[in-house]
Amino acid sequence: MLDDFMTRAFIAGLGLALVSAPLGCFVVWRRMAYFGDATAHAAMLGVALSLAVQTDVIYGALIFAIIMAWATTQLSGRNYAMDTLLGVFAHSFLAVGLVIVSFLSGVRIDLMAYLFGDILAVSVSDLGIIWAGTLIVLGLIAWRWRPLFLSTLNEELSYASGYNPKREQLFLTIALGITVAVSIKVVGVLLITAMLIIPAAAARNLARDPELMVFAAGLVSCISVIAGLRSSYIFDTPPGPTIVCVALFIFIVLNLFKTFKRLLH
């Protein structure tokens, strides 16, 4: 069954869809969109170094995504704002990564595959890594759900209830690093944030409850992956960007529906 590249693409895509839903909701609620983007950019340096030492890019990406996320959390608010630090690190990590790749003679590297993903080239061992990452992140968020949610609402309230919000932030940071690392092969460095944010933003219109919103975001992601892969096959378009386009389409339809409903009342 796993011999078919389309089947592998579907399984990889659904893994990403499930992991991005709860994390995407937190990214949207905590206004961390730029943070996700920066983590993904920084992962490119990890990709480059992995290629240099000839190991799986997922490990380098994971390490750099977590270093980036951790460093900005630690350094922000001292001399520079979080925004500035993210801008400095994210884009310079990306640039350094690209420069390093250019030095790697001998191997011809398809950079596009890392910037925009190459879901059709996912191997069986990639599937294992993607689903292991997905299950770890889902488990982490399910375990920390209440304290994470509480610290999103108010840090002091979280302290007063016996949870350290800085620790919760670290959990979220690690989850984000893992997600970025496992999604590089699926949608690529540049489109990861889209998969985090668009389904969550679309789901907002469907839910009156945080858990329901996560569930709805998961549904939107899964539909985007399935419909996106099908369309990319039919129209011969790049799969990663096509998946994001479908998610955007759902976002627009749901918002139009909401506006229309409001006008009727």
CB of 201 to another protein, least distance (A): 7
Cβ proximity to another protein: between 38 and 150 the closer is 150
Cβ proximity to another protein: between 54 and 79 the closer is 79
Binding mask 3-42 for another protein (x = CB under 8 A): -------------------------xxxx-----------
CB of 149 to another protein, least distance (A): 7
SS (H, E, C) the chain: CCCCHHHHHHHHHHHHHHHHHHHHHHHHHCCCHHHHHHHHHHHHHHHHHHHHCCCCHHHHHHHHHHHHHHHHHHHCCCCCCHHHHHHHHHHHHHHHHHHHHHHCCCCCCCHHHHHCCCHHHCCHHHHHHHHHHHHHHHHHHHHHHHHHHHHHHCHHHHHHCCCCHHHHHHHHHHHHHHHHHHHCCCCCCCCHHHHHHHHHHHHHHHCCCHHHHHHHHHHHHHHHHHHHHHHHHHHCCCHHHHHHHHHHHHHHHHHHHHHHHHHHC
Cβ proximity to another protein: between 146 and 261 the closer is 146
Cβ proximity to another protein: between 30 and 144 the closer is 30
CB of 96 to another protein, least distance (A): 31
Q: Is residue 156 at the binding interface for another protein, with CB under 8 A as the rule?
A: yes
Binding mask 178-217 for another protein (x = CB under 8 A): ----------------------xx--x--xxxx-xx----
CB of 194 to another protein, least distance (A): 16
Interface residues with another protein (CB under 8 A)?
28-31, 146, 149-150, 152-157, 159-162, 200-201, 204, 207-210, 212-213
